[in-house]
Amino acid sequence: MIELKNITKNFGTLQVLKGIDLHINKGEVVSIVGPSGAGKTTLLQIMGTLDTPDTGTVIVDGIDVTRLKDKNIAQFRNQHLGFVFQFHQLLPEFTALENICIPALIAGRNKKQAEKHAKELLDFLGLADRASHKPAELSGGEKQRVAVARALINDPALILADEPSGSLDSKNKEELHRLFFDLRDQFGQTFVIVTHDEGLSQLTDRTIHIKDGMIEASTLQTSNSSILIDHEQLTTGQEEPTESLA
């Protein structure tokens, strides 16, 4: 699903990514964790074609996006990718339903079809009665779920989320996290989620630990244990069993 090879990125003299190699399978839910400034958002933006690397290749859904022209990149992003950010970034003057429809309309789908699909998504997310509400009339958790519906409207193979629950209270946080796994189970979507939330990262299939622009280690979560693999893959250690938050 995603293949990153030797990704580097500098901002001026600042080396933000120092050679990232990463492979993510279809249907995997992967978290990216690490200290502030480690390069997590930059890496996610590169995966999402919102930024370009200085070196390396980025293959997403079988397409080498580093070779796409600008006009084709926008189309690729619209059709293959969904984004969820920390702050919902819904358009305030539009209703929940209209906000969800926007990427479908950009993709050239007709309004009726888009609205039908948007309503199905609202239903699935338990928000059917919020369709005609504007963002200001929705709670934080509802806004974030509308943002997820907007990310899903074009059936993207890959959802990229940057601190998606960073502004939510614990109840809404748990609901949103559960939603990611429900979606993966029902639609086979692949998720890459940058998060500070340890509860969420422990629920994901794999956690990538980034430090100073490099992958320091990965944690594989199995049903009853988690296995830490350092970046050289030299040491394999057993950790405490992952606790369920449910």
Ligand X SMILES: Nc1ncnc2c1ncn2[C@@H]1O[C@H](COP(=O)(O)OP(=O)(O)O)[C@@H](O)[C@H]1O
Binding site for ligand X (CB under 6 A): 11, 14, 16, 34, 36-42
Hey, is 171 helix, strand or coil? helix
Q: Applying CB under 5 A, does 221 fall inside the site for Mg ion?
A: no
Structure tokens at 177: 């996290």
Q: How far is the CB of 28 from Mg ion (least distance, A)?
A: 21
Q: How far is the CB of 120 from ligand X (least distance, A)?
A: 33
- Closest alpha carbon to 52 in 36, 37, 69, 35: 69
156 binds, among Mg ion, ligand X, none (CB under 5 to 8 A by kind): none
Q: Applying CB under 5 A, does 195 fall inside the site for Mg ion?
A: no
H or E segment to which residue 66 belongs: none
Q: Which of residues 28-87 bind Mg ion (CB under 5 A)?
A: 41
Considering beta carbons, is residue 40 or 77 the nearer one to ligand X? Answer: 40
Considering beta carbons, is residue 142 or 162 the nearer one to ligand X? Answer: 162
Which position has the token pair 């995966």? Answer: 47
Q: Which of residues 97-136 bind Mg ion (CB under 5 A)?
A: none
The DSSP code sequence of 32-65 is EE--TTSSHHHHHHHHTTSS--SEEEEEETTEEG
Within 10 Å of residue 74's Cβ, how many Cβ atoms? 13
Using only C-alpha atoms, the chain has a radius of gyration, in whole angstroms, of 18
Considering beta carbons, is residue 43 or 152 the nearer one to ligand X? Answer: 43
**What is the β-pairing status of strands 81-84 and 158-162?**
parallel
Q: How far is the CB of 17 from Mg ion (least distance, A)?
A: 13
Q: How far is the CB of 74 from ligand X (least distance, A)?
A: 19
Q: How far is the CB of 13 from ligand X (least distance, A)?
A: 10
- By CB under 5 A, the count of residues binding Mg ion is 1
Q: What sign has the CA pseudo-torsion 227, 232, 234, 235?
A: negative
Considering beta carbons, is residue 44 or 151 the nearer one to ligand X? Answer: 44
Considering beta carbons, is residue 40 or 206 the nearer one to ligand X? Answer: 40
Hey, is 46 helix, strand or coil? helix
Please report, as ranges, the residues that interact with Mg ion according to CB under 5 A: 41
